[in-house]
Structure 1
Amino acid sequence: MEANISNNATLSIFFRYSIAQLHEKFAPTAAAIDQSVTPILYFIGILTNPLSAYIWLSRNTRKNNSSAIYLGTLSISHFTFLILHIFVELNYAWGVKTYNDYISCEIFNVVYYIPQYLAPLLVLSFTVERYIAICFPFSKEKYCTVHRAIMVIVGLSVLSVLLCIIQAYFWTYDPRKQDCNHRPEAVEGEQASILSIWTWISELLIFGILPLAALVFNVLVIMEIRSLTAGGPAYMSSGGGQAASTITLLCVSFYLICTWLPATVVYSLQQAIHIGSEYLTDDQIAADSTWKGYFTYYIVRKIVEEITLSNSACYFFIYYITGKHFREETKMILGINKCCKRPAKNSGLSDYQTVSKAKNITNGNSYATNV
Structure 2
Amino acid sequence: MRIGDVIYFFNDFRPYYDRVLAVIGVLANVVAIVTLTRGRCGLSKGVTWYLVAMAGVDLLVVVFQVVLQRGFYFHYTPECNIIDTMGYMSVACSVWLTVAFTLDRTVTICFEKLKSRYCTEKSAAIVIAVVSVLSVLTNIPWYFMYQSYFCMISYEFKTYLGWQIFDWGQRILTPVVPFMLILLLNAVTVRHILMASVVRRKLRGQRDGEGKDDPEMKNRRRSIILLFTISASFILLWMTQVVILAVQRITGQYIGMFSYYVVGDNLGTMLQLFSSCTNMFIYAVTQRKFREEMINTVKCPFTAIQTCIKP
TM over 0.5: yes
CA RMSD after TM alignment: 2.7
- What is the CA-CA distance between 1:101 and the residue it aligns to? 1.3
State the partner residue of 1:184.
155
In structure 2, what residue type is equivalent to 1:292? Answer: F
Aligned partner (choices 292, 299, 323) of residue 258 of structure 2: 292
How far has the Cα of 1:156 moved from its partner? 0.5
- Give 2:143's aligned residue: 168
CA distance in 1, matches of 2:171, 2:24: 27
Q: The residue matched to 2:15 in structure 1 has which SS?
A: helix
Which residue does the alignment assign to 2:130?
A: 155
Residue identity over aligned pairs, in percent, reads 20
| 1:87 equivalent in structure 2 | 68
> 1: CA distance between counterparts of 2:157 and 2:299?
54
**CA contact 1:121–1:156 (8 Å) conserved in 2:** yes
Match of 1:108 among 83, 104, 117: 83
Q: Could you report, residue by residue, the CA deviation over 1:238-274 in whole angstroms, capped at 9, with x for unpaired residues?
A: 3644420221122111211121232123245287326
Q: 1:71 to 1:274 in 2, by over 3 A?
A: closer
CA distance in 1 between counterparts of 2:169 and 2:118 reads: 30
Cα separation, 1, equivalents of 2:167 and 2:253: 12
Residue 206 of structure 2 is matched in structure 1 by none
Which position in structure 2 is the counterpart of 1:273? 254
5+ residue gaps in structure 2?
202-209, 301-311
1:169 Cα deviation from its structure 2 partner: 1.9
* Cα shift at 1:174: 6.1
Shift of 1:61: 4.2
CA contact (8 A) 1:77 1:119 kept: yes
Moved more, 310-319 or 265-274: 265-274
SS at match of 2:267: helix
Q: Which runs of 5+ in 1 are unaligned?
A: 1-23, 92-96, 276-290, 337-371
- Structure whose CA Rg is larger: 1
Counterparts of 1:44 and 1:140, CA distance in 2: 36
* Letter of the 1:222 counterpart: V
TM-score normalised according to structure 2 size: 0.82
Equivalent residue in structure 2 for 1:211, among 164, 179, 182: 179
Q: Paired residues, what number?
A: 284
SS of equivalent residue, structure 2 residue 147: strand
User: Structure 1 counterpart of 2:79, which letter?
Assistant: S
- The separation in 1 between residues aligned to 2:212 and 2:167, in whole angstroms, is 48
How many angstroms does 1:63 deviate by? 7.0
Q: Return the alpha-carbon distance in structure 1 between the equivalents of residues 100 and 193 of structure 2.
A: 19
1:173 deviates by 4.7
Which runs of structure 2 are paired with 1:182-261 in the superposition (5 Å)?
182-188=153-159, 193-230=161-198, 231=201, 233=211, 237-238=215-216, 240-261=218-239
The Cα of 1:107 is off from its aligned counterpart by 2.1
Deviation of 1:115 after TM superposition, in Å, equals 1.0
**Partner Cα distance (1:65, 1:195) in 2:** 41
Q: CA deviation at 1:37?
A: 1.9
Q: 2 CA distance for matches of 1:40 and 1:54?
A: 21
Q: How high is the TM-score relative to the length of structure 1? A: 0.70
Give matches, 1:26-45, under 5 Å. 27-45=7-25
- 1:202 counterpart letter in structure 2: Q
Distance 2:37 2:211 in 1: 31
- Kindly state the Cα deviation for residue 335 of structure 1 after the two structures are TM-superposed: 4.2
